[in-house]
Structure 1
């Protein structure tokens, strides 16, 4: 219908349609199956022990909808969600040298990247072993206010020191730092089978305590403790196993830091979790919400405040689900996984490029990967 310069859609009257019951739907479904077993065809058993039903309705709702921003933060730690603080696009950049990393980083910051994600790898990939390497890798990058997340190896304290030296040379005040050096010795030990240096775990906890005490005193918006589920998810762990391993690690860190003079509030405020996003869309949303709620309950039961119980959560799409044979199908998988992460309400996201399993991702594949969350956040609201 045309009214002046505006086009209005005709009103739709649903009164002619009688409400359908579950019994009517089931009868139609059974007829469509043409003799096939209804339960075997339409009920899906997951490795997590959950059975997915073919259809859900209001009678399947077992608990009231919890508003976002309220403890235990099932639906998010902020009442206004991404309207209050947009999800950060923290895409990792595969690079073989500091110069290569810097060129790609500056290129991507002009094309949708909103946070720096540095993945250090002493065997293959990016190595920043000297102060000059750090200065080169972050040359020309405005570090005041731009979140920089660093995943170090076994030496978290040395990594933090060189990063701070680069920031100091750039004239950045420590109080303005955002992001973190996410030290996760348990995660590294799980991934590699051991930790460099041959020291006991207590020595790495000592490093973590020194880093965190510095952050408490100087950089309240900077995290120093990482809890990653990637080593477990990339090894085939179920959603339940991944969340369980992450929470167990986080509790171990809380206890270790408390033994070294840090309160639960101080430790929890400087901790950041990284979760893998798999292929089951609704299960991954539920996993994120469960992790957020369980962590809030744990922190409060340990004596922490509700403010400290707000999780800081980064998500990376699953490497486990990438196809080498048909990499183009990874575009669809990455999009669906990004949707799960955004609907789950993560704070930052890294969508793996569709060709990450077969080669070093180029400008095009990195851009397409960034476009997934950008479209979800900017165009799909």
Structure 2
């Protein structure tokens, strides 16, 4: 086979491509954008092979998911046992492969698990129970009629919960350790979660989001191994849950960089690469949802979902476009499920394990994002680690600065569809809007999940 597929065409230099772009784009050449991911990390709009590091690219590709496809995992909020059971069955009959069941504010004795899980086989269908209640009690309830092997897990991040509420995490670490030991033969049951949502929803840029998530991973590895959990169990039994935002190419690179960084953590514990199988759930962003122009959220989530699957998620949760509506019904849930189904059945993205591999720009972005995040992670470690950095206010201050930059960008002309452009006047609804003043600025201030559009609406009104 010849060295070049089309040997009759001579290779073109980057200068030649640039001259052609100038000719084709004419006066718009200067408008060709670059990507600024975080302070000091900017990418040009195109890249050539000569500008890439082939060894680094091979290393990045080696860390990626080996099996193609993903689970369509819709988010279902518990209401009452029978209605929720019906909603789960309906989702599974109409495209879902797994369920993310939100029990967050529900006492476990209200769930009536025999009714809630009636005719569901947890050995076949992964169900992740999102709750901050006793994980041991939860497992006891769901395993009574589920046989000896369960899939799914407990979607609870004690450190993130501590940062939100101030509730200490130590007792939860003990409960997770016991549950990991109890379920050690259940390779597809994950007793705890490591999330990026808290950082993402407070305005973190991708470098910060990755750095804080890796710092959380290192913290859990330390806490669990100190509690007697084997490092390989501690690593493989986590559900890594990642928010995916609107910057299409950046978010693809972010997920790929996350897998690479997780491999660096596992290697630090001298774990064999072939035995480490991190499970990544990607969730479309609520931070970029607007409470107005809700149909726009549907389009936004479709772009985010594409980033998630091209980036290599194991499970995809597409959030409903009317996420905050008290009248949310089956239509929005069905549309959210179908976004994943269309990508799976009609795009062919599910037949390749790493669809982004080979793109010079995406490979370079993945590598440099990972390097910047690792550098930031080491800075966090030098300051005492994630827990110390939160107690000192370092994390809150970093998030505040990043959020302020995002709000400022909207006021300086960056477009957010349905928020500062392309919305109907009647769609404006600023109830509950916030100001930047409530963002953490002092030591040990708790974090809250936020929406970017809320700050734009509030500041816009304040100028009138």
Q: What residue in structure 2 maps to residue 180 of structure 1? A: 153
Whether the 8 Å contact between 1:183 and 1:208 is mirrored in structure 2 is no
Q: List aligned pairs for 1:188-267, cutoff 5 A.
A: 188-190=161-163, 192-195=164-167, 200-216=168-184, 218-267=185-234
How far off its partner does 1:32 sit?
Answer: 6.8
Whether the 8 Å contact between 2:21 and 2:29 is mirrored in structure 1 is no
Greater helix fraction, Structure 1 or Structure 2: 2
How far off its partner does 1:143 sit?
Answer: 2.2
How far off its partner does 1:313 sit?
Answer: 0.7
Secondary structure, aligned partner of 1:307: helix
Match status 1:300 vs 2:267:
yes
1-structure distance, mates of 2:61, 2:232:
16
Q: 2:51 aligns with which of 52, 60, 72?
A: 60
Q: 1:354 aligns with which of 317, 321, 344?
A: 321
How far off its partner does 1:291 sit?
Answer: 0.8
The TM-score, its normalising length taken from structure 2, stands at 0.67
Where in structure 1 are there 5+ consecutive unaligned residues? 1-13
1-structure distance, mates of 2:172, 2:199:
21
Q: What residue in structure 1 maps to residue 397 of structure 2? A: none
The TM-score, its normalising length taken from structure 1, stands at 0.81
1-structure distance, mates of 2:110, 2:217:
31
Could you say if the C-alpha distance between residues 232 and 282 of structure 1 is closer, same or farther in structure 2, counting changes exceeding 3 Å? same
How far off its partner does 1:41 sit?
Answer: 5.2
Match status 1:331 vs 2:331:
no
How far off its partner does 1:278 sit?
Answer: 0.6
2-structure distance, mates of 1:145, 1:66:
37
**Count of aligned pairs:** 343
Whether the 8 Å contact between 1:179 and 1:221 is mirrored in structure 2 is yes
Whether the 8 Å contact between 1:74 and 1:290 is mirrored in structure 2 is no
Q: What residue in structure 1 maps to residue 70 of structure 2? A: 87
Could you say if the C-alpha distance between residues 307 and 225 of structure 1 is closer, same or farther in structure 2, counting changes exceeding 3 Å? farther
Q: What residue in structure 2 maps to residue 379 of structure 1? A: 346
Aligned-residue Cα RMSD (Å) equals 2.7
Where in structure 2 are there 5+ consecutive unaligned residues? 1-5, 349-464
Pick 1 or 2: higher relative contact order, CA cutoff 8 A, min separation 6: 2
2-structure distance, mates of 1:138, 1:56:
51
Whether the 8 Å contact between 1:73 and 1:296 is mirrored in structure 2 is no
Could you say if the C-alpha distance between residues 133 and 49 of structure 1 is closer, same or farther in structure 2, counting changes exceeding 3 Å? farther
How far off its partner does 1:17 sit?
Answer: 8.6
Residue by residue over 1:219-256, the C-alpha shift from the partner in whole angstroms, topping out at 9 and shown as x without a partner, is 23311121011111112111111111111111111111
